[in-house]
């Protein structure tokens, strides 16, 4: 979340889309209720189903799964057409005024400029800003010269292709800009042109939401910015209903753009707010949950990064902005974060002379994302798997492929608190005794500790680190995860010591400075992640101005690139300073009344609760809304002050025009994302899900995302709407928590059996009654359950065609209560979902695939 859970209470307007917090985050939903009761805030819910969140909404739109970009693109265009944006915010705090390079082409035919069909990849050299300062006033001339987007796209491709592998293009230090926003290649004009195609009629035909409902929703949401007035704030709240698409990242981008356009980012009650589906998903992501990032979102080295300098130069951005403006470009500190991380990883073995141990780090030669790893296991490349705190077979996608992949593995280690489907993959439905006998995989099932049986921090959606204490000891032989992992690591290290091996250095050089080597205390790990001084360090600009060797550091402003500091994750620096753990703080004071609670727990970065909060002020440093003052410029002290911690250079005066989006080299928010930051385009474009009932109505010849690759094993089949006419989406229920609570009688009592939600009209057509046993099939497999016939999903008209969606809760499988359930009632929902992933975040498309339904 850019903001936080409690901050939702400060909002005037909520769009909840791609998430269902009343069901999946019932405790956090209290802040939605609070905003409605205290501020009369409005709630718009857009979802394929009328779910529990929708039951609370002022306005509900039933959307076809996977068409969110169309809805949001239409919203952007509506806001532009109806003056629902603030020009001061837009011009100064976003890149709306930046001029995009000649040759950049919008995807009016489905493709941006630079597409290479053979490689299914874009050459991004035209996805850039033009160089050259202030061009304000030149718009008319440019228009006269026919200087618009859409021309001369082929040029860039052919040049790039001829020259072999040119140096990766970079952002110009001195970006051209037009403050009148009228230049045809200004980001604003391109944005307008891009979404002018998303008319109510077109969006209606894509999404299935009637055009009058669309304009009602767009009007209501953008009403907070009527005539550009900045008093009110609107928030967008989402979850995996947005991420789990083959264009998930771009859906979130569209939301971010809408919020930037309307001036809602950085503000109390605003922002783009991702609701995390587990208590510590945010923490997992921060600590390198994805294969291509290191802790703190540092990039993992590539094989082409020959040495530390090449690596750190590649990953450290340089400012790119209008000459007259300032940009903090906070990522310019990357070397400090990187060296401190290497020191935490390798201790004294990370020295200047050996490039800080850079060569010990693995380099990514291919895609190691979740789906790719299972694919590699299926193809015999991955021989073993350690899995903790997850149920890989159930998580999917395409559970059968995962089950079959495990059959080919040599070994599998599962750390769990219940016997789960993954460790019992050899008992999956439909398997014969003969087949069982042929499985050679060695399975180790390790009893682990549950969340209440171990301490440590949870990092919630609001980026808060909150320490938790052990409630009860683990039962029997169960062990905490860190002990299991430590013992495996020490054993592996011992083997490397004894036997050498291909590259023992990376393992042998790793620092393991814990008091109890076999079971590191999480207090020590948390302190290591926070970081400490390795030598006495001084900085006269900070108070106190000195830290002695061995002392815990109070914040990432102290990190150095000379090896005198170590830090496991720069974002968490400050969570455990020398004065003690901040994550253990439980002070309930909220002096500002904005729900900041500055001394409860600790939030990254630097305990600020709303990110980019400089944008909550106008150019002069005055809050847009005086009743929700987050930070402000104090002329007397020459510093930024606030109820929240300013997310800004503390002494940068407003006249310097430093941008509030300090993590971007531009300093401003990106309506247009330049270069290779995203694989599928600088602006989001609506593409159809890989399995879709219709061709893309914007460009039928390019229906799905051009850069999304299908997988090619015999199990990777993709369905046709002729055979599988209904759209299927998957989700969670309040009553269950993923695949755990099916082991708990009380949860099972609340929703006892697997089901599929079917619209009444479809049920009538198929002669299915509520409670009938049905088989839901995709081209991959079948799911058995009972039918829930409901009024809450309605028939839709897509491209003039009657279309139906159905929905399946994911919680049931072949393990769990009640025992003795027949095998056909134990099918995992993800047997149905396809193996296809978002090209940026690699998240599978669990929402919006095709199925058919039969009565059994």
- The contact set with another protein (CB under 8 A) reads 22-23, 26-27, 29-30, 33-34, 36-37, 40, 50, 52-56, 58, 60, 733-735, 745-746, 748-753, 755, 770-771, 786-792, 794
Q: How far is the CB of 42 from another protein (least distance, A)?
A: 9
Q: How far is the CB of 765 from another protein (least distance, A)?
A: 17
Cα–Cα distance, 194 to 96 (Å, whole number): 13
Cα–Cα distance, 64 to 168 (Å, whole number): 39
Comparison of 285 and 744: residue with beta carbon closer to another protein: 744
Cα–Cα distance, 847 to 244 (Å, whole number): 6
State the CB neighbour count (10 A cutoff) for residue 190. Answer: 24
- Give the residue among 254, 199, 267 at the shortest CA–CA distance from 46: 254
* H or E segment to which residue 261 belongs: helix 248-261
* Contacts with 395 (C-beta within 8 Å, 6 or more apart), sequence order: 370, 830
Q: How far is the CB of 146 from another protein (least distance, A)?
A: 48
Q: How far is the CB of 693 from another protein (least distance, A)?
A: 23
* Contacts with 715 (C-beta within 8 Å, 6 or more apart), sequence order: 378, 398, 400, 401, 404, 780, 835
Comparison of 159 and 750: residue with beta carbon closer to another protein: 750
Cα–Cα distance, 425 to 624 (Å, whole number): 57
Contact 244, 18 (CB under 8 A): no
Comparison of 479 and 792: residue with beta carbon closer to another protein: 792
Comparison of 17 and 256: residue with beta carbon closer to another protein: 17
Comparison of 249 and 741: residue with beta carbon closer to another protein: 741
Q: How far is the CB of 309 from another protein (least distance, A)?
A: 52
Q: How far is the CB of 807 from another protein (least distance, A)?
A: 12
Comparison of 87 and 738: residue with beta carbon closer to another protein: 738
Comparison of 108 and 760: residue with beta carbon closer to another protein: 760
Q: How far is the CB of 592 from another protein (least distance, A)?
A: 22
Phi and psi for 439 in degrees, rounded to 5? Answer: -75, 125
Cα–Cα distance, 241 to 18 (Å, whole number): 4
Q: How far is the CB of 412 from another protein (least distance, A)?
A: 32
CB crowding 12-39: b at 16 or more within 10 Å, else e: bbbbbbbbbbbbbbeebbebbebbbeee
Cα–Cα distance, 585 to 599 (Å, whole number): 6
Comparison of 37 and 491: residue with beta carbon closer to another protein: 37
Comparison of 259 and 736: residue with beta carbon closer to another protein: 736
Comparison of 409 and 758: residue with beta carbon closer to another protein: 758
Token pair for residue 253? 């981008």
Comparison of 747 and 833: residue with beta carbon closer to another protein: 747
Q: How far is the CB of 529 from another protein (least distance, A)?
A: 31
419: exposed, middle or buried (Cβ count in 10 Å: 0-12, 13-18, 19+)? middle
Query: What secondary structure does DSSP assign to 785-849, as a single string?
Result: EEEEEESSS--EEETTEEE-EEEEE----SSSSSTT--GGG---GGGSS---B-TTT--B--SSE
Q: How far is the CB of 21 from another protein (least distance, A)?
A: 9
Q: How far is the CB of 50 from another protein (least distance, A)?
A: 5
SS3 173: coil
Contact 692, 848 (CB under 8 A): yes
Comparison of 55 and 620: residue with beta carbon closer to another protein: 55
Contact 298, 287 (CB under 8 A): no
Comparison of 256 and 733: residue with beta carbon closer to another protein: 733
Q: How far is the CB of 590 from another protein (least distance, A)?
A: 17
| Residue 356 region by backbone torsions, left for phi larger than 0, else alpha for psi between -120 and 50, else beta | left
Comparison of 638 and 770: residue with beta carbon closer to another protein: 770
Cα–Cα distance, 787 to 491 (Å, whole number): 51
Q: How far is the CB of 238 from another protein (least distance, A)?
A: 18
CA distances (Å), origin 114, targets 191, 619, 700: 19, 37, 20
Comparison of 42 and 343: residue with beta carbon closer to another protein: 42
- Give the residue among 170, 93, 160 at the shortest CA–CA distance from 129: 170
Helix 370-378 and helix 399-408: axis angle, to 10°? 50
Query: What secondary structure does DSSP assign to 18-39, as a single string?
Result: S--HHHH-TTTTHHHHHHHHHH
Q: What is the dihedral of CA 529, 532, 535, 536, to 10 degrees?
A: 160
CA 533 from centroid of its chain's CA atoms: 32
Q: How far is the CB of 786 from another protein (least distance, A)?
A: 5
Q: How far is the CB of 611 from another protein (least distance, A)?
A: 26
- Give the residue among 539, 542, 606, 609 at the shortest CA–CA distance from 577: 606
SS3 45: strand
Comparison of 28 and 725: residue with beta carbon closer to another protein: 28
- Give the residue among 184, 186, 99 at the shortest CA–CA distance from 142: 184
Instruction: Give the chain's radius of gyration (CA, Å).
Output: 27
Q: How far is the CB of 51 from another protein (least distance, A)?
A: 8
Report the number of secondary-structure helices (H) and strands (E) in the chain: 23, 29
């Amino acid at each position: 979340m850019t903001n936080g859970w409690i901050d939702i209470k400060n909002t005037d307007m909520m769009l909840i889309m791609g998430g269902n917090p009343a069901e999946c985050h019932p405790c956090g939903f209290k802040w939605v209720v609070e905003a409605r009761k205290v501020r009369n805030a409005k709630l718009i819910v857009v979802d394929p189903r009328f779910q529990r969140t929708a039951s609370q909404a002022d306005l509900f739109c039933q959307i076809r799964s996977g068409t969110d970009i169309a809805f949001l693109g239409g919203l952007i265009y509506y806001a532009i057409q109806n003056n629902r944006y603030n020009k001061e915010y837009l011009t100064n705090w976003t890149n709306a005024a930046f001029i995009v390079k000649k040759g950049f082409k919008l995807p009016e035919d489905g493709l941006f400029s630079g597409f290479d069909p053979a490689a299914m990849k874009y050459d991004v050299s035209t996805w850039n800003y033009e160089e050259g300062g202030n061009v304000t006033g030149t718009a008319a001339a440019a228009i006269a010269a026919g200087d618009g987007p859409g021309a001369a796209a082929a040029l860039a491709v052919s040049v790039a292709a001829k020259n072999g592998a040119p140096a990766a293009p970079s952002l110009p230090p001195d970006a051209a800009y037009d403050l009148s926003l009228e230049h045809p290649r200004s980001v604003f004009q391109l944005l307008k042109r891009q979404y002018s195609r998303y008319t109510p009629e077109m969006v209606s035909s894509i999404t299935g939401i009637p055009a009058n409902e669309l304009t009602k929703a767009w009007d209501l949401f953008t009403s907070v910015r009527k005539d550009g007035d900045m008093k009110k704030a609107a928030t967008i709240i989402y979850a995996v209903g947005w991420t789990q698409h083959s264009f998930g990242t771009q859906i979130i981008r569209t939301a971010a753009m809408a919020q930037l356009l309307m001036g809602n980012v950085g503000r109390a009650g605003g922002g783009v707010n991702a609701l995390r589906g587990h208590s510590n998903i945010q923490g997992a992501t921060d600590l390198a949950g994805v294969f291509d990032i290191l802790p703190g979102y540092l990039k993992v080295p590539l094989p082409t990064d020959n040495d530390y300098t090449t690596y750190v130069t590649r990953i450290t951005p340089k400012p790119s902005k209008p000459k007259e403006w300032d940009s903090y470009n906070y990522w310019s500190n990357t070397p400090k974060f990187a060296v401190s991380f290497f020191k935490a990883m390798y201790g004294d073995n990370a020295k200047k002379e050996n490039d800080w141990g850079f060569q010990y780090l693995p380099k990514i030669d291919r895609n190691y994302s979740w789906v790719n790893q299972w694919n590699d296991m299926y193809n015999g490349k991955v021989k073993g798997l350690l899995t903790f705190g997850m149920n890989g077979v159930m998580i999917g996608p395409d559970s059968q492929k995962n089950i079959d992949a495990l059959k080919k593995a040599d070994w599998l280690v599962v750390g769990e608190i219940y016997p789960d489907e993954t460790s019992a993959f050899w008992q999956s439905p439909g398997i014969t005794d003969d087949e069982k006998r042929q499985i050679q995989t060695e399975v180790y099932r390790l009893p682990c500790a549950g969340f209440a049986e171990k301490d440590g921090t949870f990092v919630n959606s609001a980026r808060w680190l909150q320490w938790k204490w052990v409630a009860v000891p683990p039962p029997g032989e169960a062990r905490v995860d860190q002990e299991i992992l430590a013992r495996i690591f020490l054993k592996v290290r011992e083997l490397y010591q004894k036997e050498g091996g291909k590259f023992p250095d990376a393992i042998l050089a790793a620092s393991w400075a814990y008091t109890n080597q076999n079971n590191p205390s999480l207090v020590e790990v948390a302190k290591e992640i926070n970081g400490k001084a390795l030598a006495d360090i001084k900085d006269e600009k900070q108070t106190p101005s000195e830290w002695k060797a061995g002392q815990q550091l109070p914040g990432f402003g102290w990190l150095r690139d000379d090896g005198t500091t170590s830090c496991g994750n720069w974002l968490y620096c400050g969570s455990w300073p020398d004065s003690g753990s901040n994550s253990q703080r439980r002070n309930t004071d909220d002096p500002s009344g904005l729900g900041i609670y500055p001394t409860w727990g600790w939030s990254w970065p630097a305990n600020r609760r709303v990110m980019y909060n400089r944008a909550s002020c106008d150019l002069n440093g005055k809050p847009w809304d005086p009743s929700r003052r987050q930070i402000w410029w104090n002329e007397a002290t020459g510093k930024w002050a606030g109820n929240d911690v300013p997310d800004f250079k503390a002494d940068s005066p407003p006249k310097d025009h430093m941008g509030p989006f300090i993590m971007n080299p531009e300093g401003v928010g990106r309506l247009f994302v330049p270069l290779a930051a995203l694989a599928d385009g600088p602006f989001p474009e609506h593409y159809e899900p890989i399995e879709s009932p219709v061709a893309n109505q914007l460009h039928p010849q390019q229906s799905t995302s051009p850069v999304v690759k299908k997988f090619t094993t015999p199990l990777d089949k993709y369905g046709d709407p002729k055979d599988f006419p209904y759209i299927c989406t998957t989700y969670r229920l309040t009553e269950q928590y993923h695949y755990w609570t099916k082991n708990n009688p009380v949860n099972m009592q609340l929703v006892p059996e697997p089901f599929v939600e079917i619209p009444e009209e479809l049920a009538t057509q198929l002669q299915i009654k509520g409670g009938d046993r049905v088989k839901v099939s995709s081209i991959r497999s079948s799911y058995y359950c009972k039918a829930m016939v409901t009024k809450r999903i309605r028939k839709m008209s897509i491209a003039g065609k009657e279309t139906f969606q159905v929905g399946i809760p994911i919680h049931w499988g072949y393990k769990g209560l009640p025992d003795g359930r027949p095998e056909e009632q134990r099918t995992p929902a993800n047997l149905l979902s396809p193996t296809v992933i978002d090209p940026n975040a690699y998240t599978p498309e669990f929402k919006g695939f095709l199925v058919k339904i039969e009565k059994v």
